[in-house]
């Protein structure tokens, strides 16, 4: 994680507990019909997972974010996370986008090997394997004679 000067960012010095931010996030997830909300943390990576049941299908979403070790800065990140996610849901509420479109990159897919990954992780992995050049190249092979 790159060095961030938290003292110059919004929510610096917030006294709002992390649990309060998590509860507020959970509240608007429930408002939009999302279930099974889970917050997990490991080292300096946080994950929010939730499920949308639509048309008889279950769609899981996984949102990852980094946070600092400093407890005060961590509270600050959770406030920013709350407002970031809240604004995404405001756009959904106004019909600007849908839950599926807004959280498409966080949609969890089951891979052929049985593992799970988000659309964003899959695409990033594929992009990292591509060779880049200054010329526009289409991502498919040319047919003979073209």
| 83: three-class secondary structure by DSSP | helix
Report whether pLDDT(141) > 80: no
Residue with tokens 């490991």: 42
What is residue 29's predicted lDDT score, i.e. its pLDDT? 93
SS3 42: strand
How high is the pLDDT of residue 134? 57
- Whether 146 is covered by a domain: the verdict is no
| Between residues 98 and 141, the one the model is more confident about | 98
Residue 65 resides in a domain: yes
Query: How many structural domains compose the chain?
Result: 1
User: Is 18 a residue whose pLDDT tops 70?
Assistant: yes
Tens digit of pLDDT for each residue in 51-62? 999 889 999 999
| More confident of the two residues 78 and 134 | 78
Instruction: Answer yes or no: is 132 within a domain.
Output: no
Please tell me the predicted confidence (pLDDT) of residue 126.
85
Q: Which of 28, 12, 25 is nearest to 75 (CA)?
A: 12
Domain that holds residue 67: 6-124
59: nearest Cα among 99, 88, 27: 99
- The CATH code of the domain that includes 68 is 3.30.160
Kindly indicate the confidence band of residue 132, based on its pLDDT and cuts at 50, 70 and 90.
low
Written as six digits, the tokens of 57 are 């299908």
Outline where 94-141 has alpha helix (H): 99-102, 119-129
Is residue 79 scored above 60 in pLDDT?
yes
Give the model's pLDDT for residue 125: 87
Specify the pTM: 0.80
The answer to the question of residue 58 being in a domain is yes
Q: How confident is the model at residue 75 (pLDDT cuts 50, 70, 90)?
A: very high
């Amino acid at each position: 994680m790159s060095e961030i000067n938290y003292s110059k960012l919004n929510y610096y010095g917030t006294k709002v507990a992390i649990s309060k931010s998590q509860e507020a996030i959970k509240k608007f997830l429930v408002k939009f019909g999302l279930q099974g909300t889970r917050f997990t943390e490991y080292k300096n990576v946080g994950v929010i997972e939730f499920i949308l049941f639509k048309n008889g299908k279950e769609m899981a979403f996984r949102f990852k974010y980094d946070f600092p070790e400093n407890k005060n800065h961590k509270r600050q990140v959770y406030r920013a996370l709350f407002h970031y996610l809240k604004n995404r849901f405001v756009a959904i509420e106004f019909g600007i986008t849908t839950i599926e479109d807004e959280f498409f990159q966080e949609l969890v897919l089951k891979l052929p090997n049985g593992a799970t990954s988000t659309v964003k992780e899959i695409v990033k992995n594929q992009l990292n394997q591509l060779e880049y050049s200054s010329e526009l190249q289409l991502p498919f092979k040319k047919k003979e004679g073209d």
